[in-house]
Structure 1
């Protein structure tokens, strides 16, 4: 009596367990690898920063002239503690952060809406192209006196500067994302009877999110630069004002202390943008 050879069809669940366990082991191994890689990167970054600070401290401690011109990490830390204790660090960071966030949001909303809207008409996009290039070529600092005249010396002028720093980049990146949508997918939706507005909302906008968020990551820094420039020109508070005042008095360590706070603010805002990107685009592998 012969027995029928055992095949995959005759035991449909035979491979489910091993395959599932292998997949689970693979996922755990990949998670451990990513954790080790992240820890190694963090250690290298901390080591590099510590080495640079140690070299900086050693170089400035050997010469008073160098310490006057370049400051020193210990003096910078001392000014950070002093600014923290008197409350100016928190207040100035809050003011600059508020100006940056408002300009970032306003500039990205305007730029993204305009950039995506240009997808509707290639003719209009070609008409507007030289004007967009001209606006993007204007140095933002050249507009600061005009913004002060138009909006005054309060919050509005700094938000306007941050907005202008952002809007062109947001427009260009969103338009590029809209134009890079796969034409075959657009044609497929058209053959299925989709209207242009449906193609726009169901295909163009979701497909453009990668470029839009890439623009967001760039414009965080641009909005901060615009706010700082506005504070340089006319302000009584903010990190830009602190940098300008300390520089005019030749207090170099305090200048660097305000710069450290500015860098920390930029990193926090960039982290928030990254988290929002992960939340809104879970299907994408965001680095």
Structure 2
């Protein structure tokens, strides 16, 4: 008896069912998150409306929304977000570029990696805010100093995660390529780098926040615009709702950048889409 073949419609049904199941799960998670957020904001609004001390110290969601609207109307939210976003993107790119290149290149020599390991740990242990006065002396108070702060916040994390991915490659696969006559550079290019992508992108998602923190800290130290400047200025005047309004914009910027990194990961690593 000849084997029966399924029609295209029958073949598509299991795929459509799995897709609907994933969509339903995503919508359930989103609805739960929105419900938790709505409950939190309601409790916050109630607590601040019933207590003037709480209202002064923590602001209120309605007051924060009012300041957000004001920032949109006067255009300051767009200017500040552009400035901080530019500093963050440049620091993120430069820090990850150098950190990833150095981390992957350390795979070539375990001797060199062991020699530089304590220096990397020492640099990574320095609080970024402690470097701010030195960065200002070296690079001034303009855009370059903010990019430098953002870069320094990123580079060590990118280096460590990329090196971890490189040394974690299966040694059996490396030995197999060697037996097939592959050179060390071919092993590095065709095996080590692709196998390290998961760790590299994990580091990218992590360093988005670090790059933004570095830019904000740089704006705290010296700036006339940017979200960090808006937060510092509002805090110095004790306008707590405006501080939270600028923080909301900062969080939105971080989420947007993380989303973009995730999309790039899905584009470059399509085999991980189902994970």
Q: 1:246 aligns with which of 216, 224, 234?
A: 234
- Taking the aligned partners of 2:95 and 2:24, their CA distance within structure 1 comes to 39
Unaligned runs of 5+ in 1: 1-5
In 1, Cα distance between the equivalents of 2:166 and 2:272?
A: 17
Aligned partners of 1:27, 1:269: CA distance in 2, in Å?
31
In the other structure, the counterpart of 1:16 is: 5
Contact 1:278–1:286 (8 Å) recurs in 2: no
List gaps (5 residues or longer) in structure 2: none
Specify the structure having the higher radius of gyration (Cα): 1
Q: 2:217 aligns with which of 229, 236, 240?
A: 229
In structure 2, the partner of 1:113 is: 101
Which residue of the partner structure matches residue 129 of structure 1? 117
Q: Paired residue for 2:167?
A: 179
Q: Is it true that 1:272 corresponds to 2:256 in the alignment?
A: no
Where 1:193 maps in the other structure, the secondary structure is coil
Equivalent in the alignment of 2:156: 168
The equivalent position to 1:77 in structure 2, one of 62, 65, 70, is 65
Within 2, Cα distance between the matches of 1:217 and 1:224? 12
What is the total number of aligned residue pairs between the two structures? 275
- 2-side partners of 1:286 and 1:257: how far apart? 37
Q: Could you tell me which residue of structure 2 aligns to residue 29 of structure 1?
A: 17
**Alpha carbons of 1:52 and 1:95: their partners in 2 closer, same or farther (altered >3 Å)?**
same
Q: State the 1:24 CA deviation.
A: 2.4
Q: Counterpart of 1:140?
A: 128
Conserved in 2, the CA contact under 8 Å of 1:76 and 1:257?
Answer: yes
1:146-171 Cα distance to aligned partner (Å, 9 max, x none): 00000000000000000000000000
The alignment status of 1:199 with 2:194, answered yes or no, reads no
How big is each residue's C-alpha offset from its partner over 1:88-107, in whole Å with a ceiling of 9 and x where there is no partner? 11100110000000000000
Conserved 8 A contact 1:158-1:227: yes
Change (3 A) 1:182 1:22: farther
Counterpart secondary structure, 2:6: helix
TM-score relative to the length of structure 2: 0.98
* CA distance in 1: counterparts of 2:11 and 2:113, whole angstroms: 49
Give SS of 1:236's match: coil
User: Displacement of 1:252 after TM fit?
Assistant: 0.2
Q: Is the 8 A contact 1:217 1:270 kept in 2?
A: yes
Once superposed, which parts of structure 1, at least 4 consecutive aligned residues long, lie more than 3 Å away?
20-23
Partner of 2:52: 64
Q: Partners of 1:217 and 1:152 in 2: how far apart?
A: 29
Residues 96 and 286 of structure 1: CA distance in aligned 2, closer, same or farther (over 3 Å): farther
1:21 shift after superposition: 5.5
